[in-house]
Amino acid sequence: MRETFLPFAPPMIGEEEIAEVVDTLRSGWLTTGPKTRQFAEEFSAYTQAPAALTVNSCTAALHLSLVALGVTTGDEVITTPLTFAASVNVIEHVGARPVLVDVEPDTLNIDPKKVEQAITPATKAIIAVHYAGHPVELDAIRDIADRHKLHLIEDAAHAIGASYKGQPIGSGSNPTCFSFYATKNLTTGEGGMLTGDEELVDKARTLSLHGMSREAWSRYSAGGKWAYDIVAPGFKNNMTDMQAALGLQQLRRFESMQARRREIIGQYQAAFGNDAAFQTPVHRDHVTHAWHLYVLRLNESELTINRNQFIEEINARNIGTSVHFIPIHIHSFYAKKYNWKPEDLPVALSNYNRMLSLPLSPRMTNNDVADVINAVQDVNAKARRKRMAG
């Protein structure tokens, strides 16, 4: 057993990031400024996005998208139950009603067939979440959105570096929202990015900083003018240059970090892929998986313990784990407000009850990966259900 605890998703921060942050501190410009602008430009180029806006979180990007698109009280927004609460909270914040539809049993992404069935005259938008980094079936979702004249928002918090049929996630004209939280494939500590067509991004830019007609960089830099106008009751969603400094260097070595993630995934798949006690993640041929998460599902008919007990045993072996996610419809606020029952979304519920996320970070050494595999296999061996011969 490991002598020290292995965190679930330790960030990989190197001397390059430290030097870039120090350069920012010495520059005299700490908040939204030249480095946030540069980060947005480089991220836009990487994702082949029409335009990009740095913000302080993926949550902010989702909220700004809904506001910029005019989603409001009386509207309905279809999304998945298998996501973090932020994806649905923002629907509440604009006064709309979330409509949850179940997920595909293999990818755990939103099921396009069930999306179509959930549309009503009040439906205004779809928020499609690329679960764990595996893209949703975008062709089907886009077709539904186009035919019913709905807005499509992509929650790409897990999907930096993913692609669908050769097109990077974020390259479309519709709003796509990325996260740079500490556990993400690319981190700025906290932070996010909104990509989409220029008109929408420009509107979101104004909304993201109090509704001001001009940002601080254009007012306080050399030659800047002090005057501005409030053109909308906006928010405080801007990213700082200190955060963008991290992002710039993370983006420049992003491909090497992704390569390491894929190496770890390969070791996990080889260790668990042929074991009847486990269901390992899928990877459809027409996508590039970002591998933000490695979600292992237990086949509890093979085991004498349940998922929660399995996690306890793993943690007792000094291995950090998590669960992604507690379905939205069983959280108390949403269950009470909309009278949702756990069994309303059976695919999400049944998979939640048997899933755990294993440690995944490019910072992990081969010894770390081996420790995770050994811990899982040890718990599995001790908890394996005995089969009668003959």
Contacts 24+ apart (CB under 8 A), 103-108: 103/131, 103/345, 103/347, 103/348, 103/351, 104/347, 105/347, 105/351, 106/282, 107/131, 107/134, 107/136, 107/282, 107/284, 108/82, 108/132, 108/134, 108/295, 108/348, 108/351
How many whole angstroms separate alpha carbon 358 and alpha carbon 364? 12
Give the number of other CB atoms < 10 A from CB of residue 27: 13
Q: Are strands 192-196 and 176-179 parallel, antiparallel or unpaired?
A: antiparallel
Angle at 324 between CA 267 and CA 101, to 5 degrees: 120
Answer yes or no: are the C-beta atoms of 241 and 31 closer than 8 Å.
Answer: yes
Q: In 3-state terms, what secondary structure has residue 240?
A: coil
Active-site residue, selected from the candidate residues 149, 184, 336, 386: 184
Q: Is 184 a catalytic residue?
A: yes
- Alpha-carbon radius of gyration of the chain: 22
| Helical (H) or strand (E) element with 99 | strand 97-100
How many whole angstroms separate alpha carbon 74 and alpha carbon 125? 12
How many whole angstroms separate alpha carbon 281 and alpha carbon 52? 31
> What is the token pair recorded at 301?
């008919």
> What is the token pair recorded at 225?
């003018």
Catalytic residues: 184
